[in-house]
Amino acid sequence: MNAPTHPPRSFRVEPGGRLSGRLRVPGDKSISHRSVILGALADGVTRVTGFLEGADALSTRDALRALGAHIEGPDHGVLRIQGVGVDGLRAAPGAIDCGNAGTAMRLLIGLLSGQPFASVLVGDESLTRRPMRRVVDPLALMGARIETRDGCPPVHVFAAPGGLRAIRYEMAIASAQVKSALLLAGLYAAGTTEVREPAPTRDHTERMLGGFGVRIARDGPWARLDGGQRLRATDIDVPGDISSAAFFLVGASIAEGSDLTLEHVGVNPTRTGVLDILRAMGADITLEREREVGGEPVADLRVRGARLRGIEVPPEWVPLAIDEFPAIFVAAACAHGRTVVTGAEELRVKESDRIAAMAEGLCALGADARATADGMVIEGRGDEHTPFRGARLASRGDHRIAMALSLAALRCTGEITVDDTANVATSFPDFVALARRSGLGVSEIGSA
């Protein structure tokens, strides 16, 4: 059965203000997902600190529990995983509910395609509309037997007749989820699985597999691993999620007089497109205390208010900032001049059509934003201290749309109300508390 619906909630945000102080945003969602999956496959006990206690990551934890892994926590971000080994998973007693977590579902499809039992993956209403063929089709080339409903969930994964076989696969689109699903399946395939991505995407799976003792080769756009390898338990410290930090990076950049430091944020070079884009727009962002934690680069990010300018975003930067574009669009609307984003058609198949949702929201605020097939053209109004007017906005049930539109209140003449915000808990359960602490006048209310 599908995940229960959340009670209706809204954000009410007072106009104006600036952001200041020091914050630590929640743990990286991508790394949290992968830590549970690989920890469950390892021999021994894996201890995870900084785990994101949001609904999406908890869906992955619950899925691996259903598949036989013994997982304690999280308790203040600490998770203890007693791995069952690569061959120790067992059939879940019923359908595995992924809630709203598209990452969880796509990675689990890859993992489960190599198991000697059948599984069913379901999700909430939003997830049932998200495309899965991009994962299912290449897995079928490996011998996987998977059935969907017109390419969308629910997903039925059956034991592959004769097991999986390794393939050499060149992805048509840049997707870390597709790449990761194929690498997880590759652990169970006979031979060497090779995956080529057309543009760099987040490489948390490759880094973490190496941390668990898997021999994985990375050669430019190619990732290669041999099937049949075992994983050794390890400790993982999850850094702050740069996708969550992005809302505060934009908020502080657009609000004059802001001076905010975001502590212990992951700055993996496959995730820092948002820093490149905002800096190209003139943002004042510096990296402090740069270091490496568990194979992942980490830094404190200090951001101060700045005069932003519109840019044409290089298409090769887009995959490195795909989840951050709702916030980037707000920055563009506050910039001087035109911002053009192309090559971002992936945004149309996220939790919502993020291109349409942000164009609708920005226009309701009085911004000049025009959606295109693969991006947006925004005529910034940075010459105005308050380029936006107050409005009631629809998030379309998308956590990133809700948080991005909330930050626009910093440059508004009137109050903003953002409806349907319950799903913010999927990635950032403490958003309201941290945003208020930094200076944003946001409160959570029951929807009318």
CA nearest neighbour of 138 among 96, 195, 187: 195
- Residue 323 among the catalytic residues: yes
What sign has the CA pseudo-torsion 236, 237, 243, 244? Answer: positive
Cα distance between residue 252 and residue 46, in whole Å: 37
Tell me if 371 sits within 8 A of 341, measured CB to CB: no
416 backbone dihedrals φ, ψ, rounded to 5°: -110, 140
Pairing of strands 119-122, 152-158: antiparallel
Pairing of strands 259-266, 20-23: parallel
CA atoms within 13 A on the CB side of 220: 3
220 backbone dihedrals φ, ψ, rounded to 5°: 60, -125
Contacts 24+ apart (CB under 8 A), 142-150: 142/113, 142/166, 142/167, 142/182, 142/185, 142/189, 142/193, 144/113, 144/114, 144/185, 145/113, 146/109, 146/113
Q: Kindly report the CA angle at 281 between 280 and 287, in degrees rounded to 5? A: 60
Cα distance between residue 232 and residue 344, in whole Å: 38
Choose the catalytic residue: 97, 124, 300, 323.
Answer: 323
How distant, in Å, are the alpha carbons of 150, 152, 385 from that of 133? Answer: 9, 7, 46
Which residues are catalytic, by number?
323
